[in-house]
Amino acid sequence: MHIDISSLSKAFNGNPILKDINMSISSGEFITLLGPSGCGKTTTLRCVAGLETPDQGSIKVEGKTFVQAQNKTFLPTHKRQVGMVFQSYALWPHMSVSANVAYPLKRQKTPQAELKQRVATTLEAVGMGQHANRYPHELSGGQQQRVALARGLVSARGVMLFDEPLSNLDAKLRIAMRSEIRRLHDKFGNTSIYVTHDQDEALALSDRVIIMNGGVVEQMGTPAEVHTRPVSSFAADFVGFENILQCQAVSEETGRPVASLQGGLRLPLGAATASLAPGKFVAFRSSNVIICDPQETGIDGSGTVRDSSYTGESRTVIVDIADGTGLTVAVPDTVDAVTTYRHGGTEVRFHVPEPSLVVLDR
Ligand SMILES: Nc1ncnc2c1ncn2[C@@H]1O[C@H](COP(=O)(O)OP(=O)(O)OP(=O)(O)O)[C@@H](O)[C@H]1O
Give the residue, by CA position, lying nearest to ligand 1 atom 28: 38
Q: What is the pLDDT of residue 153?
A: 87
- Which residue among 42, 167, 196 is best mutated to probe the pocket of ligand 1, counting the most ligand atoms within 8 A of its Cβ? 42
Q: What is the pLDDT of residue 126?
A: 84
User: Does ligand 1 lie within 6 Å of residue 303's CB atom?
Assistant: no
Same domain, 95 and 198: yes
Q: What is the pLDDT of residue 48?
A: 96
Domain boundary among 183, 207, 230: 230
User: Does ligand 1 lie within 6 Å of residue 12's CB atom?
Assistant: yes
Q: What is the pLDDT of residue 173?
A: 79
Mean pLDDT value of segment 99-116: 91
pLDDT tens per residue, range 185-208: 998 899 999 999 899 999 999 999
pLDDT at 294 over 70: no
User: Does ligand 1 lie within 6 Å of residue 35's CB atom?
Assistant: yes
Structural domain of residue 254, as residue ranges?
241-360
Rounded to 5°, the CA angle 109-3-150 comes to: 45
Q: What is the pLDDT of residue 338?
A: 74
Q: What is the pLDDT of residue 254?
A: 83
Give the residue, by CA position, lying nearest to ligand 1 atom 1: 12
Please state, for a pLDDT cut of 90, what percent of the chain lies above it.
62
Distance 34 CA to ligand 1 centre (A): 14
Distance 16 CA to ligand 1 centre (A): 11
Q: What is the pLDDT of residue 201?
A: 92
Distance 229 CA to ligand 1 centre (A): 28
Distance 40 CA to ligand 1 centre (A): 6
Domain boundary among 202, 230, 258: 230
Question: ipTM, 2 decimals?
Answer: 0.95
CATH of the domain at 153: 3.40.50.300
Same domain, 18 and 158: yes
Confidence of residue 54 (pLDDT cuts 50, 70, 90): very high
Same domain, 222 and 118: yes
Give the residue, by CA position, lying nearest to ligand 1 atom 6: 12
Q: What is the pLDDT of residue 107?
A: 84
Mean pLDDT value of segment 119-125: 90
Q: Which range (227-236, 289-298, 323-332) has the least confidence?
A: 289-298
Mean pLDDT value of segment 267-289: 94
Domain boundary among 230, 256, 286: 230
pLDDT at 312 over 80: no
Q: Look at 174 and 159; give whichever has higher pLDDT.
A: 159
Same domain, 53 and 198: yes
Q: Which atom of ligand 1 is nearest to the CA of 40?
A: 18
Q: Which range (84-93, 189-198, 274-283) has the least confidence?
A: 84-93
CATH of the domain at 330: 2.40.50.100
Taking the whole predicted model, whether its pTM rises above 0.90 is answered as no
Distance 46 CA to ligand 1 centre (A): 10
Distance 193 CA to ligand 1 centre (A): 17
Q: What is the pLDDT of residue 332?
A: 83
236 belongs to a structural domain: no
pLDDT at 337 over 80: no
Same domain, 52 and 98: yes
- Which residue among 8, 10, 12, 211 is best mutated to probe the pocket of ligand 1, counting the most ligand atoms within 8 A of its Cβ? 12
Same domain, 138 and 185: yes
Distance 326 CA to ligand 1 centre (A): 33
Same domain, 90 and 215: yes
Give the residue, by CA position, lying nearest to ligand 1 atom 8: 43
Q: What is the pLDDT of residue 285?
A: 95
235 belongs to a structural domain: no
